[in-house]
Structure 1
Amino acid sequence: MTKVFSTSSVHSVTITPEVLSKKVCRNIINQLDADYKVSHLGNLRLAYDGRKSAYTAGPLPFASKEFVVKLIDDDGGARRERQFKVSIKFAAKVDIHHLKEFLQSRQSDAPHETIQALDVVLRSKPSVDYVVAGRSFFDKSFGFGRLPEGLEYWKGYYQSLRPTQMGLSLNIDMSARAFYEPLYVIDFIRQYLNLRDPHRGLADQDRAKVRKVLKGVKVEANHQGVRRYKITGLSNQPVRDITFSVDGTERMTSIVNYFREKYNIVVQYPLLPALQAGSNSKPVYLPMELCKIVKGQRYTKVLNGRQVAEMLKATCQRPEERERGIMQATNNYNHDPMVEDFGLGVRNELTTINARVLQAPTIKYHGSGQHSTVDPGVGHWNMIDKKMINGGRVDTWACVSFSPQVDPASFSRLVIDMCRNKGMAFSANPLVPFRQAHSRLVEKTLGDIHRESTTELARGGHPVNYLQLLIIVVPDVPGHYGTIKRVCETDLGIVSQCCQPKNAFRPNRQYLENLALKINVKVGGRNSVLDLAVRRRIPYLTDIPTIVFGADVTHPQPGEDSSPSIAAVVASMDWPEITTYRGIVSAQPHRKEIIMDLYTEKEDPQKGIVRGGMIMELLKEFKKSTGHKPGRIIFYRDGVSEGQFNQVLLDEMDAIRKACTSLQEDYLPRVTFVVVQKRHHTRLFPAMHNDRQTTDKSGNILPGTVVDTHICHPTEFDFYLCSHAGIKGTSRPAHYHVLFDENNFTADAIQNVTNYLCYTYARCTRSVSLVPPAYYAHLAAFRARYYIEDDADLRSTTDGGGTREQRATEVRPLPEIHRNVKNVMFYC
């Protein structure tokens, strides 16, 4: 790497007129390279990032120069020549010395610009050869297949250059992405809407869906030679009713007549809306049947359940198969002239690292069961002959089925028998009669049950004065779950347990056990605890009162710019067991990652400044629940990218501090702030794939595998923990970054605490891949989106008022969750 160390340079690039497409920018620079490399660039190649920077392996013969580039655009249509001016100006030398010092831990700040330069060099060739999506490259040559509703998937690979304890490491992983299938638009909407007869036209709701899914998509029409258009919308009228003036004259004609007279084309679907290209002031209308979706366009919307299932089924790879794919991807680098110019090289084998497998904790159940403790096998155990450590009590309950195939009486009897068998106290009879209702009457039926329950409770004679649990068999058609949760939790104050008809029709024992686990925590019980926690034998967790927080922020789906982001914070409410969590949710500005309501100050005319927020409320509830003030805080924060670490730590630690001192001036519990990431591309493969001693049944590494050397950060405190057993595909370890630590955790201590907590997840008898408080925060935030989903869907089908920025900053508060719901783990 001697050449790159001494002479590499970075140059600023300006293209005039401005071009927004990275693909077109790359084409321009490639053409410049072809035209001027020998004559003006000193025979040096330009490694271009697609935006404003280019890198060279040596100094260019000039400090600043402007080039004229002629680009022939024959991208599916008439060939046309466009001319651009490209200015290349020397900006700086690439600071490799800083990088070497950082990698040897002699500099604490990472040289991001230098790492970016080398990353661009390695990405330069695949960026031209393949479709680029973020840090991944896709092409049909890697594999492809069909998905439901007019989509297809392409396989590819992810690539990122990262500083590690070994030096610079190239992170490669296999990837897959959804693309629009290159179909005629009429065939696409047939699949997308499951449309049987397009001759009948579209309902308003279907037209809104099609407009949303096709907006921004490129199509090609060949009625006047091949020509491409970008869809900007759909007409409000059917094709047959759209008229326009012919060649600027006063003579009006319809689209149907125009295509028949000019192109001898009979429009087959005159009742369908037309595709609109161009602007609203100068629209171009095209019949759907004449337009074909251009291949290679990424589908940026959120995939639905069927599409996700098909994608996973098609792309799920066992560790050995995934490893082979990664090895094939790495063969591209050492034959790349650009990489060779910069003196870079990539080893052709995966990195071998040392790892440890942490011991699983003993799980404790109630002593009345045949077995009061269990030592988990390979990341899982079962509830056979065991009873919940604290079985909940349900005195008032009801059951409704919105599916004609499930009888609520017989199903609820099976559920109650299982709950009792596992140690819960459950009243034999429902508060109100069993009910079977139509799926169109979901909200009305829930309201009726609440009204009848309230009337019955008012008569007296019941141990509690509210309906504790409503068991609901959801409708056979999807789309009602969110409505049920919103109505129950924010309107009526009912804790509900939803069940899918396919599972409730003939429920097996495993399904009923899992339902019992969920129901128990929803009514205030605890399923199991760690034996070491009860005996106060977990360092840094059970020695002094400790509260464990989990926090996450979920953002709206891509393209939805009117919905707020939703923050959720949960905190443990029992000590030393640390298994029960209380959750709080809050809406905040669109795509805002910092949690705004951790600490709040509001001006009150009578009281003056009123301090509050999520942290204060949860600390108070912990004191009320345990009788202790926490002396230690462990804060697991999910959903933060590395570029946001410093800002999140600064703002959220400040909020935690203010919340504590607002409760008591000298109250300063020691805080450990840990960011956890699951959306990364580091995969750990067993050294020997067929060794049953070092792999689980799925061929993955064993649960409890921890790595804190080699591939970890050169200067920061981080580790990878695979806390779960694989089921399908290749396990993804969680990546934990300890950003702030006043408790002076040793690496072993924080790894063990985190691993132990992964065995306390309430919804199953398995260790989970993400530390439960962070998992629960994600569930709570996801649940809260249902509270506003109906409104968001309604807004997305209309234009709405105000600019995008105005809508993004207008945050309407979430509906208040009823107290008796908030008191339990309702999000499980």
Structure 2
Amino acid sequence: MSRRGGGGGGRGPDNRRDQPTPATGRGGGGTRGRGRGRGRSGGRDGSSAGGRGSYTGASEASASPPVHYTPTAAPVQSIQHGGGGDLSGRGRGGYTSGGRGGGSYSGAAEGSSLPPASTPPVASTTTATPVGLPQSASTEASSSSISQVSITPEITSKKVNRDVVSELTRLYRVSHLGKRMPAYDGRKSLYTAGPLPFESKEFVVKLDQDSGAQSSTTSKRKERKFNVTIKLASKPDLYALQQFLRSRHLDAPYEVIQVLDIVLRASPSEKYLPVGRSFFSPDLGPMGQLGDGIEYWRGFYQSLRPTQMGLSFNIDVSARGFYEPILVSDFVSKYINGNISTPLSDHDRMKVRRTFKGLKVVMTHMDYAKSYKITGISSQPLKQLMFTLEDKVTKASVVQYFRDKYQIGLKYTSLPALQAGSDANPIYLPMELSMIVEGQRYTKRLNERQVTALLKATCQRPHERESNIKMMVLSNDYNGDKLANEEFGIHVGAELASVDARVLPPPMLNYHASGKEAKVNPSLGQWNMINKKMINGGRVDFWTCVCFSTRVNRDLPFQFCGELVNMCNSKGMVFNPNPVIPIFSAGPNQIEKALTDIHTRSTAEIARRGGKQLQLLIIILPDATGSYGRIKRVCETELGIVSQCCQPRQASKLSKQYFENVALKINVKVGGRNTVLNDAVMRRIPHVSDSPTIIIGADVTHPQPGEDSSPSIAAVVASMDWPEVTKYRGLVSAQTHRDEIIKDLYTSTQDAQRGVVHGGMIRDLLRAFRMSTGHKPHKIIFYRDGVSEGQFNQVLLHEVEAIRQACSSLEPNYVPPITFIVVQKRHHTRLFPSDRSMTDRSGNIQPGTVVDTKICHPTEFDFYLNSHAGIQGTSRPTHYHVLFDENRFTADELQMLTNNLCYTYARCTRSVSIVPPAYYAHLAAYRARYYIEGDTSDGGSSSARGSGTREGNLFVQPLPGIKENVKDVMFFC
């Protein structure tokens, strides 16, 4: 199977995208300078059907593409791309450097023809509204060298490693390194702009006591000696990068790009705290409190990426949580929100132990700083702790020891002690004398209050974010960096780049003809249910309600259900106003018992009336958080009850808007549909309406950092109602810890009696589609969420093959064409409108804005789509990357389909930011984690209940099965 194709047909003379062309792998050229083929993957016979090419067409003789460093980091209007010069130092259009940011765009980018007339231009570098982009850069370095670095004794701290290499450079740069100034990644790799004068050499480096390399458990800091070996590993060829950026090579030379990326990260790594691809510091903006002993720091993200403009420097502002540098005793008081003069409960003790494991503290009672890494907490309170003195015989009380040796009377002796060292040789540290070392990131899940506080503090309007990004680029002064600018010849422009964008028209939506408005044309991604009725209202004959809240008025559940039933009926449902068993209340400590009792009583009553089962249980949740997951697990995996949970605070308001929203969710949970695309009904959706097509969404969710006992959860949903493609069925599966590839798409096992037994989620969904529609799918469109770029090839290879096997297991020679699209939301590209009149109410770019030039991949088929209206802050477009396409979509066709589907999300009357099948898969996977973990309202990760999976252990205990009647509906909504 060919994973990614070569270049496809470019824009032809009529300026339209993707005219049918032979699968030659080259763009057509035409009026556009760069022939932009929309990359098709290899065909079913293994031959390439052409890839989305940015191959140089008619303007192949134009200037070599620039190496752009794209500060891409703010709301959706100006993709921030910089201007810098190209690899050859030539300027725009083949002339000496000029243009914005002092940089050159490739000649092909100039004078581009306008997008198709069906989708008028929103922004253009020539006549229409520019969309601001991050700045670009160029490098004149013609060669580079990668060396392997070995430091002994081995140090895990990147900071210490950098100190060692920095000292080595200071000592030996002139005498031994050929005057080269190296860039170092803090681990094993050293990068230079040219070859070093040796292939392998050993050095000795000494760090003084202020370098931070000393042991945290030595009483006094001493000078340390390191042996450093530098050995040549490879010589990346920048010519390969030039060829790739000119679209003459399909595969990006990531080794070269990594060199340049590390070079640009070197200076920020010395000044700020690196966290992944981001940097944080108290100096990068005001800090603030998130509560429970956590504060936030501001920072920025940066990354070097290949784009159609060359190399783009993607930069964005960001923020994240850190531990407050306070006494551990004060932190515990905030964290558990309780009295620390009394012993901790078992629950609080577990929270504290999980939170502090691996944390660094410094002791405050000595005349010099002494730090420790925490390995756990004591099983006994401080006042009961004994330890063995240095004579290895005498036992002493920890409390008495500090009183005698340091004249310190410990106050919080009911708290456990922090433990450093091993279990065999523990070191006990009183919490009230231990200070949390500054700059340690909080890796656990933020609770709801903390998330709200962080969003409130960091939410920025598009123009504010755009301004902050520009200021960040200027303050970082990349062009004043000797390593990047002088040694490697990299130049980063200071201005955002402009890109072309189009606004796709919203789709017409159909509602039931009995309503006053049977059709609606959404405005700026929003509409409402006034004068409308659901296209297919569900029927509810048997239902009831239970209230677990103790604070609401006794009559509220009856009033709430009455008005909710009226709303459902008014919107087109057929909802019996009388519950099958009386509405009642139960205590929050009786959830399982109450649910079981409801199931037993309702089943008996429904059977007496000749019915089948309870269709809906309305639940008013307890006042305290932490029970939602338990309720869903019991209802969906044990009792087979479809439920609708409501927060008591919202239920008490008796709001009409709230009733409308809940009615939308209830309708799809009982088998109805809220709306459908008019184009679907009229059979006008290209590649979907002409033959039975199944649209699939898939996602994998992983446990929180630090939790190594929970499995990852895969979810797959698929449309069941062609040609409308609105109703979905979902399946979930557990798999090994942090495995991104979905293992249960297709399975086969050998049975002694039955032979080969086929199974898997795709196979089950294909069969369900056939039962629902009467057709087997002739085409498959697969939206895959949650895949990083480094996993593209692996996921594509395994998952497309699994889909193939699932199809062939159903019927010989059943090979429906597949389109495989990765959906990426977690990226740092932002678009800002250059024309402030072309915005929605929030100041963001308009719903339907699509960008598929300049900042997209040079040779592959991808685009950025902002399908939703902004609410607050800066909108983030979704990045769609087509890895495999046998259905031969044009760019316009796939963009329009994806945008239109975003208006069919069942839970609200707004277009959503990611395509609904991927959204539903995420919801289903998130729901399934409740089945094994329950709620994690403490902000940390709960251990999986009997999961039996750990890193490196292939055994995974299956999820509890979802009851069939629940799987038949959109229970995840």
TM surpasses 0.5: yes
Runs of 4+ with >3 A deviation: 1-5, 73-79, 790-806
Q: Say whether 1:600 aligns with 2:747.
A: yes
Deviations 1:431-487 (A, max 9, x none): 11111111111111111111111221232x24x321100000111100000000000
Distance in 1 (CA, whole Å) between partners of 2:816 and 2:943 is 49
Residue type at the aligned position of 2:546? V
Distance in 2 (CA, whole Å) between partners of 1:513 and 1:683 is 33
Residue 626 of structure 1 deviates from its aligned partner by: 0.8
Partner of 1:82: 224
Partner of 1:127: 269
Q: Say whether 1:304 aligns with 2:476.
A: no
Partner of 1:339: 484
Secondary structure of 1:505 counterpart: helix
Of 807, 816, 825 in structure 1, the residue corresponding to residue 961 of structure 2 is: 816
Partner of 2:151: 15
Q: Say whether 1:117 aligns with 2:259.
A: yes
Residue 78 of structure 1 deviates from its aligned partner by: 4.3
Structure 1 804/374 Cα, relative in aligned 2: closer, same or farther at 3 Å? closer
Alignment of 1:533-572 (within 5 A): 533-572=680-719
Of 383, 400, 414 in structure 1, the residue corresponding to residue 529 of structure 2 is: 383
- TM-score by length of structure 1 reads 0.97
Partner of 1:780: 924
Distance in 2 (CA, whole Å) between partners of 1:138 and 1:805 is 30
Residue 809 of structure 1 deviates from its aligned partner by: 2.5
Secondary structure of 2:918 counterpart: helix
Whether the aligned pair in 1 keeps the contact of 2:709 and 2:944 (CA below 8 Å) is no
Secondary structure of 1:6 counterpart: coil
Whether the aligned pair in 2 keeps the contact of 1:565 and 1:592 (CA below 8 Å) is yes
Whether the aligned pair in 2 keeps the contact of 1:4 and 1:57 (CA below 8 Å) is no
Partner of 1:404: 550
Distance in 2 (CA, whole Å) between partners of 1:177 and 1:42 is 41
Q: Say whether 1:494 aligns with 2:638.
A: no
Distance in 1 (CA, whole Å) between partners of 2:231 and 2:439 is 34
Distance in 1 (CA, whole Å) between partners of 2:701 and 2:630 is 19
Of 481, 491, 499 in structure 2, the residue corresponding to residue 353 of structure 1 is: 499
Partner of 1:424: 573
Partner of 2:761: 614
Secondary structure of 2:303 counterpart: strand
Q: Compare 25-34 and 551-560 and name the one that shifted more.
A: 25-34
Deviations 1:579-616 (A, max 9, x none): 00000000111111111111110112211111111111
Partner of 2:283: 141
Residue type at the aligned position of 2:971? F
Residue 800 of structure 1 deviates from its aligned partner by: 10
Structure 1 338/812 Cα, relative in aligned 2: closer, same or farther at 3 Å? same
Residue type at the aligned position of 2:699? D
Of 858, 861, 879 in structure 2, the residue corresponding to residue 714 of structure 1 is: 858
Partner of 2:830: 683
Q: Say whether 1:746 aligns with 2:890.
A: yes
Whether the aligned pair in 2 keeps the contact of 1:593 and 1:640 (CA below 8 Å) is yes
Distance in 2 (CA, whole Å) between partners of 1:546 and 1:632 is 5
Of 379, 395, 405 in structure 2, the residue corresponding to residue 262 of structure 1 is: 405
Residue type at the aligned position of 1:734? T
Whether the aligned pair in 2 keeps the contact of 1:551 and 1:777 (CA below 8 Å) is yes
Residue type at the aligned position of 2:716? V
Structure 1 249/490 Cα, relative in aligned 2: closer, same or farther at 3 Å? closer
Distance in 1 (CA, whole Å) between partners of 2:276 and 2:679 is 44
Higher helix share: 1
Distance in 1 (CA, whole Å) between partners of 2:941 and 2:312 is 45
Partner of 1:509: 656
Structure 1 805/372 Cα, relative in aligned 2: closer, same or farther at 3 Å? closer
Distance in 2 (CA, whole Å) between partners of 1:374 and 1:586 is 38
Deviations 1:367-403 (A, max 9, x none): 1111101100000100001000000000000111111
Q: Say whether 1:208 aligns with 2:313.
A: no
Structure 2 unaligned segments of length 5 or more: list them. Answer: 1-86, 89-138
Distance in 2 (CA, whole Å) between partners of 1:803 and 1:106 is 46
Distance in 2 (CA, whole Å) between partners of 1:132 and 1:507 is 48
Whether the aligned pair in 1 keeps the contact of 2:361 and 2:373 (CA below 8 Å) is yes
Residue type at the aligned position of 2:160? V
Alignment of 1:467-478 (within 5 A): 467-478=614-625
Residue type at the aligned position of 2:919? Y
Residue type at the aligned position of 2:238? I
Structure 1 703/596 Cα, relative in aligned 2: closer, same or farther at 3 Å? same
Residue 35 of structure 1 deviates from its aligned partner by: 2.1
Partner of 2:19: none
Partner of 1:369: 515
Partner of 2:39: none
Of 906, 916, 928 in structure 2, the residue corresponding to residue 762 of structure 1 is: 906
Deviations 1:599-636 (A, max 9, x none): 11011221111111111111111111111111111000
Whether the aligned pair in 1 keeps the contact of 2:711 and 2:947 (CA below 8 Å) is no
Whether the aligned pair in 1 keeps the contact of 2:627 and 2:935 (CA below 8 Å) is no
Of 336, 346, 350 in structure 2, the residue corresponding to residue 193 of structure 1 is: 336
Distance in 2 (CA, whole Å) between partners of 1:823 and 1:244 is 61
Q: Say whether 1:220 aligns with 2:362.
A: yes
Distance in 2 (CA, whole Å) between partners of 1:637 and 1:61 is 48
Structure 1 706/800 Cα, relative in aligned 2: closer, same or farther at 3 Å? closer
Secondary structure of 1:160 counterpart: strand
Distance in 1 (CA, whole Å) between partners of 2:546 and 2:347 is 30
Q: Name the count of aligned residue pairs.
A: 821
Residue 224 of structure 1 deviates from its aligned partner by: 2.4
- RMSD between aligned alpha carbons? 1.8
Distance in 1 (CA, whole Å) between partners of 2:612 and 2:679 is 38
Partner of 1:393: 539
Distance in 1 (CA, whole Å) between partners of 2:392 and 2:753 is 71
Structure 1 369/123 Cα, relative in aligned 2: closer, same or farther at 3 Å? same
Partner of 1:700: 844
Structure 1 unaligned segments of length 5 or more: list them. Answer: none
Secondary structure of 1:198 counterpart: coil
- TM-score by length of structure 2 reads 0.83
Secondary structure of 2:223 counterpart: strand
Whether the aligned pair in 2 keeps the contact of 1:678 and 1:734 (CA below 8 Å) is yes
Residue 250 of structure 1 deviates from its aligned partner by: 3.0
Distance in 2 (CA, whole Å) between partners of 1:767 and 1:174 is 26
Secondary structure of 1:585 counterpart: strand
Deviations 1:99-146 (A, max 9, x none): 000011101111010000000010000011101110000011122111
Partner of 2:52: none
Residue 317 of structure 1 deviates from its aligned partner by: 0.9
Deviations 1:484-528 (A, max 9, x none): 000000011000000011100112111110000000000000000
Distance in 1 (CA, whole Å) between partners of 2:941 and 2:843 is 47
Residue 261 of structure 1 deviates from its aligned partner by: 0.5
Secondary structure of 1:86 counterpart: strand
Residue 797 of structure 1 deviates from its aligned partner by: 6.9
Secondary structure of 1:84 counterpart: strand
Whether the aligned pair in 2 keeps the contact of 1:199 and 1:271 (CA below 8 Å) is yes
Whether the aligned pair in 2 keeps the contact of 1:138 and 1:157 (CA below 8 Å) is yes
Alignment of 1:147-296 (within 5 A): 147-195=290-338, 197-225=339-367, 226-296=369-439
Q: Compare 501-510 and 700-709 and name the one that shifted more.
A: 501-510
Of 140, 164, 173 in structure 2, the residue corresponding to residue 28 of structure 1 is: 164
Secondary structure of 1:430 counterpart: coil
Residue 799 of structure 1 deviates from its aligned partner by: 13
Distance in 1 (CA, whole Å) between partners of 2:385 and 2:908 is 58
Secondary structure of 2:206 counterpart: strand
Residue 79 of structure 1 deviates from its aligned partner by: 3.4
Distance in 2 (CA, whole Å) between partners of 1:43 and 1:802 is 55
Secondary structure of 2:757 counterpart: strand
Q: Say whether 1:102 aligns with 2:244.
A: yes
Residue type at the aligned position of 1:349? E
Distance in 2 (CA, whole Å) between partners of 1:410 and 1:210 is 43
Structure 1 791/155 Cα, relative in aligned 2: closer, same or farther at 3 Å? closer
Secondary structure of 1:809 counterpart: coil
Partner of 2:78: none
Distance in 2 (CA, whole Å) between partners of 1:249 and 1:568 is 56
Distance in 2 (CA, whole Å) between partners of 1:441 and 1:567 is 31
Distance in 2 (CA, whole Å) between partners of 1:511 and 1:477 is 21
